[in-house]
């Protein structure tokens, strides 16, 4: 243990670095900050599985679908909505951790909402947190932003195509 471990009054589960480690261990969030190939592979699996799930749900729920293109486009749109929510959930989680790592102060609660305190990070802790935020989290946030914009564009193109069918 280093000296900042003894000085830090923030409970262990509220420290930004521990929150980062916990989020990084979660499989629902880790896929966002992997290297590009692993990220796109994970994104493809999420898109494909949500498309298949929505396709089978829509196929089972509609008794007489004469137009297979309508069913296919509907399942793509529904799958896109599912993936948008997954990406948005990941983005908000990583954005929260990123902002806590980049701030020079850490607001925390010792035992409840009524006794909130603020801890000012020492320079070495602040530097470590900002390096992790800049080089590990920020590229994943940019990828997620680009993915969300692309998915919204795909969704609106799909809606336009649905109107024409």
List beta partners, residue 90: none
- Write down the pLDDT at residue 1: 46
Binned average pLDDT, 10 residues per bin, the chain of 165 residues: 63 91 92 92 94 89 71 90 95 96 90 78 94 95 96 91 78
Query: Which residues make Cβ contacts (< 8 Å) with residue 138, sequence separation at least 6?
Result: 98
Cα dihedral 122/128/133/135 (nearest 10) = 150
The H or E element spanning position 116 is strand 116-120
- Write down the pLDDT at residue 6: 53
DSSP 136: I
- Write down the pLDDT at residue 132: 96
- Write down the pLDDT at residue 117: 85
- Write down the pLDDT at residue 63: 57
CA atoms within 13 A on the CB side of 76: 18
- Write down the pLDDT at residue 72: 87
- Write down the pLDDT at residue 115: 74
Burial class (CB in 10 A: 0-12, 13-18, 19+), 124: exposed
What are the residue boundaries of the structural domains of the chain, listed by start? 35-164
Distance between start and end Cα atoms, the chain: 65
- Write down the pLDDT at residue 4: 47
Answer yes or no: pTM beyond 0.85. yes
């Amino acid at each position: 243990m280093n000296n900042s471990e003894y000085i830090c009054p923030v409970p262990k589960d509220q420290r930004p670095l521990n929150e980062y480690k916990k989020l990084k261990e979660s499989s629902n969030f880790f896929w966002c900050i992997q290297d590009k190939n692993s990220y796109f592979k994970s994104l493809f699996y999420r898109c494909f599985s949500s498309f298949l799930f929505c396709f089978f749900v829509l196929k089972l729920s509609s008794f007489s679908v004469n137009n297979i293109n309508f069913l296919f486009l509907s399942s793509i749109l529904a799958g896109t909505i599912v993936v948008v929510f997954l990406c948005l959930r990941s983005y908000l989680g990583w954005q929260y951790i990123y902002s806590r790592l980049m701030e020079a102060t850490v607001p925390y609660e010792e035992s409840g909402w009524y006794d909130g305190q603020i801890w000012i990070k020492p320079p070495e802790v602040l530097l470590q947190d900002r390096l992790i935020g800049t080089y590990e989290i920020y590229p994943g946030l940019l990828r997620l932003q680009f993915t969300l914009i692309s998915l919204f564009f795909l969704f609106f193109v799909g809606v336009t195509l649905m109107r024409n069918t």
